[in-house]
Amino acid sequence: MARILVLNGVNLNLLGTREPEIYGPMKLSEMMDNLREQAQGHEVVDIQSNYEGCLVEAIQEAKKDGYDYIILNAGAWTHYSIAIRDAISAVDVPVIEVHLSNIQKRENFRHNSVLSAVVEGQIAGFGLYSYKMALFYIIEKLAQNKIGL
Ligand code: DQA
pLDDT of residue 149: 55
Q: Which alpha helices (H) appear in the chain, and where do they start and end?
A: 20-23, 28-37, 52-61, 82-90, 128-147
Name the active-site residue from 67, 69, 99, 131: 99
Q: Give, using CA atoms, the residue closest to atom 12 of ligand 1.
A: 75
What average pLDDT is seen over the chain? 96
Nearest to 85 by CA among 71, 74, 101: 74
* Ligand 1 lining (C-beta closer than 6 Å): 11, 73, 75-76, 78, 99-101, 103, 110
What's CA 91's distance to the chain center, in Å? Answer: 16
Question: 22: number of CA atoms within 13 Å, CB side?
Answer: 14
Beta bridge partners of 97: 72, 122
pTM over 0.85: yes
From the alpha carbon of 22, which atom of ligand 1 is closest?
A: 11
pLDDT for 90-118, tens place per residue? 999 999 999 999 999 999 999 999 999 99
- Sheet of strand 3-8, all strands in order from the earlier edge strand to the far edge: 43-48, 3-8, 69-73, 95-99, 121-124
